[in-house]
Structure 1
C-alpha cells in the first residue's frame, strides 16, 4: 500500500517545535534555584542599574555566528541547558539567585525556516508564546547588529512565580536566530528593559 504523504498541518507542527522548546527552556532550565522557595530577598546583580556607557562590561558569550554580552554578575549556562535541550545554542543567567527564578537569556539557531514577511514572523512568535504563556503581545521590531528583529512579549507562571519573557526573531544570511530573555519578580521592569537593551546593543555577527 502506498504511504500517505505528510499533510501541511503536520509540517507546520514540526516546524514550530524549536520555538516551543525555547519557551520550555524558560519555564524549566531558567529556574536555577528552587521554585518552591520564595524569591530571594537579597538583591541580585540584575536589580542594580547597569554602569553607564560601554555595555561590554559583563560576560561575553560566543554562539554560532554571533556573540553577545550579558549584564555584570551573569554566568554562562550553555552546558547545563544543553543537557536538557540540545536545540539551545547558547545561554546565560543570573546564577546569584538562590531561590525563585534566575533571569536568563537563551538563543536557538535554525537554518530551516522559510519566512518572507514580517507578518508571518510575528505570527509565529505570537502563536508559539501562546502555547506556554499569556498576555502575549507583538511589539515594535528591534535590531540585532543591523538586522531587523521581530519582537513579542508574554507572561508565564513558573511554579507560583510570575515571569516576564521577551523574544526577538532575526534573520542573518539564511539563518534565523530566536533570542529569548526571561526575568523573574525579583528584578524590576526598568532594570529589565535596560539589561535587555544592553544585550541587544552588544550583539555582533561573527560571519
Structure 2
C-alpha cells in the first residue's frame, strides 16, 4: 500500500503573486503551453530525481541579488535585464520563500512579472511520478488549466514541470512551476507572468533563468 505524503509547497508559492498588489497584474488571454521549453530541458525521463553537484552555499547574503545574480540557499540564478530583487516583499507572505524578484520595468502597473523560490526541507522526498501527481493536485486547488509538462533538468537535477492559470478579480497570472528535490529539500521555482506579457518574452525569460541556474 502506498502512503501518500501531502505536498503543500506549490499552493503557498502560487498564491504569493496574487496576494501582493505591488507584485501582480492583468492582461490578455495568452496561455502557457508545453512548448515553453527552456534551453536546459532534456528529453523527458522516467528516472528518479538526481542530486545536485557540489555542496550548498549556506544562507544567502543580506542582499541576494548582486550584479544580476540572485543567490539563495544552495543555488543561484541570473535575472533578466530590468529585473530586481524583491525577496523582502515575498517573505512578507511566507518565511518558506527563500528569494524572489520582479520585472522592475513594469513598476506602476497592476502586475509585475516575477519569480520566487520556495525551499521546504520538511517535506520528505517522494518518487517523481508521485510528486507530479501530488503537486499538480495541489496546484489545481488554486489554479485552472493545470497541466503536467515533460520533466526537465535544472542544472542536472530532474524537475517536475507544471503550468497553470490563476485569476484574482481582474488579475490573471500564467504560471510555470518547476519542482526539484536537491540537497535534502524540495525547491519550488515559480515563474508568474501577466497574461498580457508576449509569449515569446515569457518563454525567453523562463528559459534564460533556468539555463543560468546553478546548485551549490
Residues 174/32 of structure 1: CA separation in 2 closer, same or farther (3 Å cut):
same
Using structure 1 for the length normalisation, give the TM-score. 0.77
User: Is residue 72 of structure 2 the alignment partner of residue 63 of structure 1?
Assistant: yes
2:109 is the counterpart of 1:118? no
SS at match of 2:80: coil
Q: Answer yes or no: is 1:163 the counterpart of 2:154.
A: no
Alpha-carbon distance in structure 1 between the residues aligned to 2:210 and 2:166 = 22
1:25 equivalent among 16, 20, 41: 16
- Report the TM-score when normalising by structure 2: 0.74
- Which of 89, 92, 96 in structure 2 is aligned with 1:83? 92
Q: CA deviation at 1:79?
A: 1.0
Question: Are the aligned partners of 1:67 and 1:205 in contact in 2 as well (CA < 8 Å)?
Answer: yes
- State whether residues 61 and 68 of structure 1, in contact with CA within 8 Å, keep that contact through their aligned partners in structure 2: yes
Runs of 4+ displaced beyond 6 Å? none
Q: Does the alignment pair 1:193 with 2:183?
A: no
* 1:34-113 → structure 2 map (5 Å cutoff): 59-97=68-106, 98-113=108-123
1:139 and 2:149 aligned = yes
1:143–1:200 Cα contact (<8 Å) kept: no
* Structure (1 or 2) with the greater helix fraction: 1
Change (3 A) 1:158 1:187: same
Higher Rg: 1
**How many residues end up aligned between the 2 structures?**
174
Q: Deviation string for 1:130-170 (max 9, x for gaps)?
A: 11110000001112111011101001113213210011011
**CA separation of 1:176/1:16 partners in 2, compared to 1, >3 Å: closer, same or farther?**
closer
What runs of 5+ residues in structure 1 fail to find an aligned partner? 1-8, 40-57
Q: Sort the Cα spacing of 1:147 and 1:159 in 2 relative to 1 into closer, same or farther, 3 A.
A: same
SS at 1:96's partner residue?
helix
Given that residues 60 and 67 in structure 1 are in contact (C-alpha distance below 8 angstroms), is that contact kept between their aligned partners in structure 2?
A: yes
How far has the Cα of 1:191 moved from its partner? Answer: 1.1
